[in-house]
Structure 1
């Protein structure tokens, strides 16, 4: 039993009277299946729990210990993998991971929105379609109120930054990441200024202006502050011009340290100084940006500005002492938080535990064998004519981990023993064409365009014929040879006719139709 933060209980539109939430470990959940738990009350009142910060007060082993007042001294929470500390001002200040202590600070900042007449781009107002701060950023608090909750399964620090921003920093037992559950809103606008709120993390990493954002949850893209790869950049918007979409993860690193922040929704993010990452969590603006909405981004509910609530998941530590690597752990965690298990509730008050256990199936899996850790079953859906469409994805990029970034092989019959598979056929990614029927279109370059390309850079001196005379391969022949090599490699990756084995390379997604034995 863990107390619900006061800031959540005090929300105006909250209809629940609950003041505690139940936390338990649901481990060994079966893949593509379910596991049921029977929860019952064994005490008459939550008053039976200890609510005193005095260490002499009795606290049962399965109950958390939390203080009744706000802390003004340094606080540490953690588990066997990591410990995080908060300074006397209430801010997160450091982390110890794998025995190595590092600086890690987190706070909230807001940008004041630019106000313009929208007649030209240099005078746009920040709005629904444009992020344009006026260059002013403000920290929301100089000190933070803390309340600590410590239990066997989870340890929490409840932070209150001001009247409209609060946060729970959470460390679960046996987990190697830190969870930040933030609550922002409603954003005050009595001063007539729009505000755009970000959560910012500071480290000592020497990132040299480089950070990384995901491409729709898949490959990571290198970003360099105040830089574009294909042209000389002159930024008139130094903040917004360095913001990028973050669908799942943003990260930075140096030779020794790495910080990654995973999101629970798409957000804008950046690294505006070395060693720092930030993500925008909420906005409330007062002027239209003249991009078609014709109204300000001033969303309301229950007569007040919207309240936003979400989570960030932070992994931080040394790059040299981690096995699996931090990148691999990020991928596994990303799969958990972006594709979480579904939770269903039902009333069991009419059944005693013994009766419930006998009458219902409480554990089930459609898979006979778990997939490798770096493989995800993306799709499993009925198709047509007694068949099933399945998709598998390799979760890691090449080079992210010595073990888990390698190609992985597994057998479909071992995975789906409960299905009588007669045939397996691979399709294109979309599942709308058999793989063997797919012929890639060959593009022929425009000769006029080739005139602008330095011939020497393509063929050397003398042109393509000279390259062929010297034992080289003309451009067209080289393309044919490359295609033959790709087709030969692809044939090796096809499903084995005998063993139904599949090979997935790093970041590869493959789609198959499983034809099942007809059972009238």
Structure 2
């Protein structure tokens, strides 16, 4: 018999505990071809929610383990369980050396069409690749699922009879149907099986059939190996020995299947695009759309991206610091970093594990999701600590470094400026006390290959402060109030304040900013504050640090040099955006509402609004009394609106000249459908928020067609065009996004782009609308495998950039603008912000730079990764580094004036060539 194995996470766990004899037997099975490693990723990754970095990182982790331990390189892909298939995975597989791949879960109508056209084997082509240079041969499994019941042919009840597992104590549909093959029944059973194989073969022009014999949780009893083999061996022997059948059947692997297909075919049709949204029909005989998991458990999806960003920063800093320490002969630093390499590997694997198609999707039971989150939190803790160690090593002066060597001291003086004791708690900023005699240092690492301007927020305990950059020059700051809910209105704290300033960070640099105590008055640096719900001063003699004014009746306006925003004065929601440079006004009415879930048909996997509901969507904020808060100062102006403990929505514009920040609008949602239900605060929500699918909709006057067109990103690799198909409902028109969605006028006009920091579902259900699902709470299981509802919602923060640009019209291949790419990179990979505890300011250099010039504007440093020592792949670093650079090819039709980037065409590495992947 022959077998395939896909996920390296489980194989590595077995291998670490296996006896050396078993390890050697595994290697012999692999080298002989009886066991093929397919795909070779750390997991069988989801393809809707996973961002490109994590998707690639789990593939690297798996392939590195295979190369170091087994000495093999996968040539076949096996992706049969993700709920829909995107274009990023086949691209990465092809780039990694995989020659052909298999997919399974695609819309039943696609399966029918591919069968009718005999297109089950095709070249999957990227939308931007007109020449087919990145094609990969793809095999679509023609039936519903990969189990034996659905693999031998079109009749599941017949196929059940060919599952020969008989384990004592098990009573299943296949134990009822199947009987072992013997001399008496072999002819009848062989001919019945051959008929099914023949029907399957007729779906392909080459008449070669791939029939998997397995399922989840199989071959876990020694008896099954013999049962399956002995019966199939009799069947194969009977068929192969009789020429009248005109058939040859053999055990084989994916590599064998594709080799035989390529012996019979040379030219294949090519298909572009992806296979979302997946829909099955076999459960109830009616379409069920798997678009719910795009959004399910957003708290976990945010946590995933936080670890992704933290791991990437730690990888770059670690690689930089380790290479520098080796080159400079800093033995103590080398020793410390080598000791902690194990933590880096563990964080990689924790992130990689969560990319599994039942993890990041939110489609595992609550206790399993809890375990996943613990691993993500552990990774966050370790990578932040590693980033601090590496940054400290890079900044220490020579005198301080000599003292470190002399004392054999650890590198433990740079820490995050927040605490997070468990994964269930949101990060809490720590207030910094500013001594009078020396400044507090803020250390920031820009992991991007381009110069960036970052809005830095620091919690401080004093109003009497000023900030200087690494050269000692003072920078503009703003001081905002920190609010506290007293139960009788919101009160401003007198002991904590929010400091805002814009940091100018060169490409791939560690930069220090200093917060000083000052005797100057800072009154003009304090934000102007307006609210409709603030508590009065406790007594007349108390002088509050901020003067709070009432919000005046009527609409509200926030304005900068570039933008003018108009808000509804009652709800606090955005109504329109005016570009002050061009004078163009874009209607952008923001609305929150919810679809009522169809019981038992909308759950962790599926999304379906209740067809029996009185209204197709619920105005969940109706009747609520929003609390408004406006802060406006020299750095930023923002409006926040609170709806009880369920939702706080913030809109912010920046008073800066730097693009693209000056022309973009920051939006933030803090939401919690797991909060205690209060019908007085939010009467529009159903009791206990049950069966609620809450979304944020932006209603514009953009003309994106009578059948509205939406563009969504494909795991951050490229954009995909989506055209509404009204007859399949909103559930069939929700698509996955991991970083971006956009709509634009059909001709020259405007483009509206929404950039997000976590995966979700998005739709354009009506002309000019762009909506993104925010949270889902369903009490009922949707019968797709999880066995329970989703009721473990947590207080979650979602961050967005909203960008309106002029455009010359749709392109043949949709792409984000350069400005949108840079804003997306800012969201995905925020600056690592550390505070100094225990070092004097003169013990740290003010800056460290990895490169002397920035990368060209369109090039993104995907990763800079220290590879493991082959003999000890989980423990020790090697002296080899992997660098991957992505060409984020921007749109040529969207306004280029919104982004400035120096360094275009400049190579930061003289005499070397960059490899673009």
Which bin holds the TM-score, normalised by the shorter protein?
A: 0.5 to 0.7
Checking the alignment, whether the CA contact within 8 Å between 2:704 and 2:744 is kept in structure 1 is yes
Checking the alignment, whether the CA contact within 8 Å between 2:639 and 2:650 is kept in structure 1 is yes
2:499 matched to which residue of 1?
22
User: In proportion to residue count, which structure has more helix?
Assistant: 2
Alignment counterpart, residue 152 of structure 1, candidates 627, 630, 634: 634
User: How far does residue 65 in structure 1 lie from its aligned partner after superposition?
Assistant: 7.2
User: How far does residue 139 in structure 1 lie from its aligned partner after superposition?
Assistant: 2.0
Checking the alignment, whether the CA contact within 8 Å between 1:66 and 1:150 is kept in structure 2 is no
Checking the alignment, whether the CA contact within 8 Å between 2:673 and 2:689 is kept in structure 1 is no
Residue 659 of structure 2 corresponds to residue 179 of structure 1: no
When the two chains are superposed, the root-mean-square deviation of aligned CA atoms in Å is: 3.6
TM, length-normalised to structure 1: 0.64
Structure 1 CA distance for aligned equivalents of residues 554 and 691 of structure 2: 35
Structure 1 CA distance for aligned equivalents of residues 828 and 698 of structure 2: 21
1:165 matched to which residue of 2?
647
Checking the alignment, whether the CA contact within 8 Å between 1:71 and 1:146 is kept in structure 2 is no
User: How far does residue 172 in structure 1 lie from its aligned partner after superposition?
Assistant: 1.5
Structure 1 CA distance for aligned equivalents of residues 711 and 517 of structure 2: 47
Give the 3-state SS of the residue equivalent to 1:343 in structure 2: strand
Structure 2 CA distance for aligned equivalents of residues 410 and 329 of structure 1: 19
2:757 matched to which residue of 1?
264
1:212 matched to which residue of 2?
711
1:115 matched to which residue of 2?
599
Checking the alignment, whether the CA contact within 8 Å between 1:67 and 1:149 is kept in structure 2 is no
Structure 2 CA distance for aligned equivalents of residues 83 and 158 of structure 1: 17
**Structure 1: which 5+ runs fail to align?**
11-15, 55-63, 117-123, 228-233, 300-304, 415-498, 511-520
Query: Relative to structure 1, is the Cα distance of residues 194 and 6 closer, same or farther in structure 2, using a 3 angstrom cutoff?
Result: farther
Give the 3-state SS of the residue equivalent to 2:514 in structure 1: coil
Structure 1 CA distance for aligned equivalents of residues 546 and 506 of structure 2: 32
TM, length-normalised to structure 2: 0.38
**Higher alpha-carbon Rg:** 2
Write out per-residue CA displacement over residues 100-134 of structure 1, whole angstroms, 9 at most, x where no aligned residue: 12211112111111114xxxxxxx2x111111221
Alignment counterpart, residue 861 of structure 2, candidates 372, 377, 380: 377
Query: Relative to structure 1, is the Cα distance of residues 140 and 42 closer, same or farther in structure 2, using a 3 angstrom cutoff?
Result: farther
Q: Where do residues 229-308 of structure 1 align in structure 2 (5 Å cutoff)? A: 234-235=727-728, 238-254=729-745, 255=747, 256-299=749-792, 305-308=793-796
User: How far does residue 67 in structure 1 lie from its aligned partner after superposition?
Assistant: 3.6
Write out per-residue CA displacement over residues 460-483 of structure 1, whole angstroms, 9 at most, x where no aligned residue: xxxxxxxxxxxxxxxxxxxxxxxx
Alignment counterpart, residue 364 of structure 1, candidates 834, 848, 872: 848
Checking the alignment, whether the CA contact within 8 Å between 2:598 and 2:608 is kept in structure 1 is yes
2:694 matched to which residue of 1?
197
User: In proportion to residue count, which structure has more strand?
Assistant: 1
User: How far does residue 26 in structure 1 lie from its aligned partner after superposition?
Assistant: 1.0
Structure 1 CA distance for aligned equivalents of residues 511 and 620 of structure 2: 43
Q: How many residues align?
A: 374
Structure 2 CA distance for aligned equivalents of residues 18 and 285 of structure 1: 41
Checking the alignment, whether the CA contact within 8 Å between 2:816 and 2:891 is kept in structure 1 is no
Checking the alignment, whether the CA contact within 8 Å between 1:281 and 1:308 is kept in structure 2 is no
Query: Relative to structure 1, is the Cα distance of residues 389 and 409 closer, same or farther in structure 2, using a 3 angstrom cutoff?
Result: farther
Checking the alignment, whether the CA contact within 8 Å between 1:75 and 1:86 is kept in structure 2 is yes
Residue 909 of structure 2 corresponds to residue 413 of structure 1: yes
Structure 2 CA distance for aligned equivalents of residues 282 and 52 of structure 1: 31
User: How far does residue 410 in structure 1 lie from its aligned partner after superposition?
Assistant: 4.8
Checking the alignment, whether the CA contact within 8 Å between 2:589 and 2:700 is kept in structure 1 is yes
Structure 2 CA distance for aligned equivalents of residues 43 and 282 of structure 1: 47
Q: Where do residues 468-479 of structure 1 align in structure 2 (5 Å cutoff)? A: none
1:33 matched to which residue of 2?
509
Structure 1 CA distance for aligned equivalents of residues 827 and 527 of structure 2: 32
User: How far does residue 194 in structure 1 lie from its aligned partner after superposition?
Assistant: 1.4
Structure 2 CA distance for aligned equivalents of residues 107 and 94 of structure 1: 13
Give the 3-state SS of the residue equivalent to 2:834 in structure 1: coil
Structure 2 CA distance for aligned equivalents of residues 156 and 192 of structure 1: 29
Checking the alignment, whether the CA contact within 8 Å between 1:285 and 1:297 is kept in structure 2 is yes
Alignment counterpart, residue 128 of structure 1, candidates 604, 624, 644: 604
Structure 2 CA distance for aligned equivalents of residues 101 and 270 of structure 1: 23
Write out per-residue CA displacement over residues 439-493 of structure 1, whole angstroms, 9 at most, x where no aligned residue: xxxxxxxxxxxxxxxxxxxxxxxxxxxxxxxxxxxxxxxxxxxxxxxxxxxxxxx
**Structure 2: which 5+ runs fail to align?**
1-478, 488-492, 532-544, 678-685, 810-814, 870-877
1:460 matched to which residue of 2?
none
1:328 matched to which residue of 2?
818
